[in-house]
C-alpha cells in the first residue's frame, strides 16, 4: 500500500531589492505627479513647471527599468516603451508652453497608476487594499475613455491649422503627438486590459 504526501503550494516569489525600492519611491513620486496634475488643471500650479518635472521623472524611471527590469512585476520592455512614448509626447508642451496644460490633462492617468502601486503593496483583503482596488478600477475610465478622447483633442490643437499658434504647428510635431497618444492608448489595450480580463475569469478548482 503506497502513501502519498499532500501537495504543497510553491513558495511565493521573492520581490527583488530593485522592485521593493522602485515601488517604495514610486508611491510618493507618482502620487506627487498626480497631485501636481490636479493642481495644474485647477490653475494652482504652473503647468510648464509640471511638464519639466514630469519629463525628468519619465527619463529617470525609464532608465531604471531598462537597466533593472526586475524593478517591475512584468512587461518591463513594454513599460520602457511606454516611457519612451510619454517622453516623446511631453516634448510638445515642453517646446510649446501654451500647451503645457495638456501635460496635466494626459498626466492625470497617473492617479490610476498610483492606486495600482499602493494596492499591490498593501495586505490583500485589508481595508486599504480594498479601497485602493476600488479606486483603481474606478479610475480605469481615465485610461479607456479619457485618453482615447485626447487623441481627438490633440488632433485639433496641434494641427497645422491650429489657432493656438499663428501658422499652426509643424507637421512633424502634429505627427509625433498623434502617434504617441495613439500608441499610449494601444498600450492600455494590449497590456492593461488583458490583465483585467484574466482576473475577471472565474477560477476553476483542479480535481
| 8 Å CB contact between 191 and 75 | yes
Checking if the pLDDT of 89 tops 60, the result is: yes
pLDDT at 9: 45
- For the chain, the maximum distance between any two Cα atoms, rounded to a whole number of angstroms, is 89
Indicate the range of 1-15, 94-108, 123-137 predicted with least confidence.
1-15
Q: Of 149, 175, 153, nearest to 164 (Cα)?
A: 153
The reported pLDDT for the residue numbered 204 is 56
Position 13 scores a pLDDT of 66
User: What integer is the mean pLDDT of 91-107?
Assistant: 98
Query: Tell me, what's the pLDDT at 196?
Result: 73
89 near 180, Cβ under 8 Å? yes
Q: Using DSSP, state whether 124 is helix, strand or coil.
A: coil
Catalogue the long-range contacts made by 116-123 (C-beta closer than 8 Å, 24 or more residues apart).
Answer: 117/23, 117/26, 117/27, 117/30, 118/27, 120/23, 120/73, 121/23, 121/24, 121/27
**CA 2 to mean position of chain CA atoms:** 54
Any domain includes 3? no
Q: What is the pLDDT of residues 4-56, one digit of tens each?
A: 444 454 555 688 999 999 999 999 999 999 999 999 999 999 999 999 999 99
Domain range for 23 is 17-198
Contacts of 85 (CB under 8 A, 6+ apart): 180, 183, 184, 187
**Three cell numbers, residue 7:** 501537495
The answer to whether residue 155 sits within a structural domain is yes
In a domain, 192, yes or no: yes
State residue 205's pLDDT score: 53
Domain presence at residue 102: yes
Taking only the tens place, the pLDDT of each residue in 145-197 is 999 999 999 999 999 999 899 889 999 999 999 999 999 999 999 888 777 77
- Number of structural domains found in the chain: 1
Q: What is the pLDDT of residue 27?
A: 97
Specify if 89 maps to a domain.
yes
Amino acid 3: pLDDT: 46
Q: Specify the pLDDT at position 191.
A: 84
* Mean pLDDT of all residues in 110-114: 97
Question: Is 203 inside any structural domain?
Answer: no
Query: Looking at the domain assignment, is residue 105 inside a domain?
Result: yes
Distance CA 140, CA 36 (A): 19
Of 55, 44, 45, which Cα lies nearest the Cα of 92? 55
For residues 48-67, average pLDDT: 98
The answer to whether residue 66 scores a pLDDT higher than 90 is yes
For residue 92, is it within any domain? yes
- What is the distance between the alpha carbons of residues 47 and 101, in angstroms, rounded to a whole number? 5
Amino acid at each position: 500500500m503506497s502513501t502519498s504526501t499532500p501537495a504543497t503550494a510553491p513558495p511565493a516569489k521573492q520581490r527583488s531589492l530593485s522592485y521593493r525600492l522602485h515601488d517604495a519611491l514610486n508611491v510618493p513620486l507618482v502620487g506627487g505627479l498626480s497631485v501636481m496634475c490636479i493642481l495644474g488643471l485647477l490653475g494652482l500650479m504652473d503647468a510648464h513647471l509640471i511638464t519639466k518635472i514630469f519629463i525628468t521623472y519619465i527619463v529617470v524611471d525609464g532608465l531604471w527599468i531598462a537597466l533593472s527590469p526586475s524593478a517591475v512585476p512584468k512587461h518591463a520592455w513594454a513599460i520602457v516603451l511606454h516611457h519612451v512614448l510619454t517622453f516623446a509626447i511631453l516634448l510638445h508642451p515642453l517646446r510649446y508652453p501654451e500647451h503645457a496644460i495638456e501635460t496635466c490633462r494626459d498626466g492625470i492617468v497617473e492617479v490610476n497608476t498610483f492606486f495600482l502601486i499602493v494596492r499591490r503593496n498593501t495586505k490583500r483583503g485589508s481595508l486599504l487594499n480594498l479601497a485602493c482596488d476600488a479606486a483603481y478600477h474606478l479610475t480605469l475610465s481615465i485610461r479607456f475613455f479619457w485618453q482615447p478622447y485626447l487623441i481627438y483633442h490633440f488632433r485639433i490643437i496641434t494641427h497645422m491649422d491650429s489657432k493656438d499658434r499663428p501658422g499652426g504647428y509643424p507637421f512633424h510635431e502634429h505627427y509625433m503627438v498623434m502617434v504617441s497618444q495613439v500608441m499610449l492608448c494601444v498600450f492600455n489595450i494590449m497590456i492593461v486590459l488583458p490583465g483585467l480580463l484574466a482576473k475577471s475569469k472565474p477560477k476553476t478548482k483542479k480535481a
